Homo-oligomer: A and B are copies of this chain.
Amino acid sequence: MPGIKLDPIDRKILAELQADGRMTNVELSRRVGISAPPCLRRVRALEETGFIHSYHARVNARELGFEVTVFAMVSLRSQAEADLSAFEDRVRAWPLVRECHMLNGEIDFILKCVAPDLSSFQSFLTGELTAAPNVASVKTSLVIRNGKEEPGVPFDVLESRISDDD
């Protein structure tokens, strides 16, 4: 899988589609400096090789009635692989949990949760999360405001580290 490499045009395509995932192919081809057919072929190849995972609209959570975002730091009693996986399986079934990252250190998982209001989050917290098997402790922090939210990766950092292409 790491045998596939990208040239500067591929990286430009990825950067452009990360910034605007609904851009038309002709506009994209214009921006990366090639004609439309090869541009479309490259996009399809990037999708099939997994460099592009998916496309999503970013919606305004608060306007839609999701007024609270909470980070939950979870520690488990057992860190055996089967128990870690079991917890992750459980997390995937909870719609309020949007992200789950396994961490090093004392905290085993950090969960990013979104809920309509505090009371619905708290009923999830006490009724589901802390009540789940193997959960030792949960520390929650309410998000007061969002200072930055950029999707994906910083391609400019990549460009200044790359010697050459494919």
Contacts and interface: CB of A to CB of B under 8 A. Distances in A.
Contacts of A82: none
A107 B144 CA distance: 12
A9 interface: no
Contacts of A80: none
A147 B17 contact: no
Interface in A47-100: 49-61, 63-66, 69, 71, 87-88, 91-92, 95-100
Interface of A: 1-2, 6, 14, 17-22, 49-61, 63-66, 69, 71, 87-88, 91-92, 95-105, 107, 109-110, 114-116, 120, 141-154, 156-158, 161
Task: Please provide the 4 A-B residue pairs with the shortest distance between their CB atoms, ordered closest to farther.
Answer: A95-B154, A88-B147, A17-B57, A100-B147
25 contacts: A6-B64, A14-B57, A14-B59, A17-B56, A17-B59, A21-B21, A49-B63, A50-B63, A51-B63, A55-B57, A56-B151, A65-B161, A66-B158, A71-B110, A88-B147, A92-B147, A92-B148, A98-B154, A99-B149, A100-B148, A100-B149, A103-B141, A104-B141, A107-B141, A115-B157
